[in-house]
Amino acid sequence: MKKSTIRGALALSLVFAMIVLGACSSEGGYEKWQVEDPFKGEDLSEYITLGEYKGIEITILPEEADEESVLKIARQELHTKIDKTVVEKGDVVIFDYEGTADGLSDETLQGMKAEKAALVIGDGGFIPGFEEQIEGQAIGKAFDVDVTFPEDYHAPELAGKDVTFRCTVHEIHKVDLTDAKVQEVMGEEFESLEALYENIRAYFLQPIQEQNVQQGGSEAIEAAFQNTKVTKVPARELEMYKEMINREVAASGQTEAEYLTMMGLDPENWVSQVEEQLGWEMFICAIAQKEDQMVTEEEFKDYLDRQRTATGDASLTDEALIEQSGGRNIMLRRLTQDKVIYFVYENAKKTEQAAEAAEDTHTADDGHAH
């Protein structure tokens, strides 16, 4: 049987999920199939032979935070007022600012003003040229800062735009990176400076880790699928998918070719695509069974609770959520797939990209609007 890449397999999963969600209730095997666990009663060893799926070599981004970026956030938060009247590089200024320029929307203008904002002079918190013009300014005196936003600025309305900011410095602070200051500013949230550093590092690492799991997991599971041999598919499962598709063709008022094309299936080869999808689902389920990664009832209930919270409708019953998603069977297949991909990723042999390549792959957001 021809194997697909992970991208193809996941795309097919979405297609078949759409078909299941659109399928009308009918008497017979489909209703029972909806509420069963995946491949219930099937010995998957009759249909599939797993290949190597542990220790697969993948490349990931370095999971380490840039320490200077960590310190920048700490400096932005931890500072103490000092008796000083003129701003110098390294000071923290507490200031008001308001930007003005022709042709900007009210929403953009609203985002270019603030009161009692904190800015570490020299840390590059605002766009180039902004902080340099605050150096040498005196407390209590209004002044203008004229800047040009970069051509590649993330907000198109401001890209390349000349803007004047009216500013007033109210206080000058010094950076105060001490445990005592952390406890003063953060209360009971953090007991020490190092605890704060760890929290900031986690903030920077989260998107990198998520990207590694998504991309590295896809790379690993694709390789594992290519190592797998599918000899045939269960006749009952194949008939269920055929039944869903045939019923939907009849209900759509379209020809079979029109409906299949609309769903992204090949009218000349759709049965083979169904078989390929089933091969993928058996592959996932076989690893889950072998490695004790089947979704537990507790995990399933937790997932339903999260889905209910996401809808904002606490009155939704578990049964309603399950019906909206196409049935317990379909939901369990999706959740099992997520668990297996993560399992294969966790058990992969990971090599970090070189620093230069990693920089080209992802960039950090400084969190500032200017």
What is the residue extent of each domain of the chain?
Answer: 6-62+202-361, 79-175
3-state secondary structure of 92: strand
pTM above 0.85, yes or no: no
Q: How far is CA 75 from the centre of its chain?
A: 28
- Answer yes or no: CATH 3.30.70.20 is held by domain 79-175: no
- CA dist., res. 178 & res. 191, Å (int): 11
In tens, the pLDDT along 287-338 reads 999 999 999 999 999 999 999 999 999 999 999 999 888 889 889 999 999 9
In the CATH hierarchy, which fold is given to the domain comprising 6-62+202-361?
Answer: Trigger factor, domain 2 (1.10.3120)
Q: For the segment 72-85, what is each residue's pLDDT rounded down to a tens digit? A: 999 999 999 999 99
- Which parts of 291-327 fold into alpha helices (H)? 297-311, 318-324
Q: What is the Cα–Cα distance from 133 to 42, expressed in whole angstroms?
A: 72
pLDDT for the residue 42:
87
188-232 confidence digits (pLDDT tens) = 889 899 999 999 999 999 999 999 999 999 999 999 999 999 999
* CA dihedral of residues 310, 313, 315, 319 (deg, nearest 10): -50
Task: Label the pairing between strands 57-60 and 92-100.
Answer: unpaired
The total of other beta-carbon atoms located within 10 Å of residue 143's CB is: 14
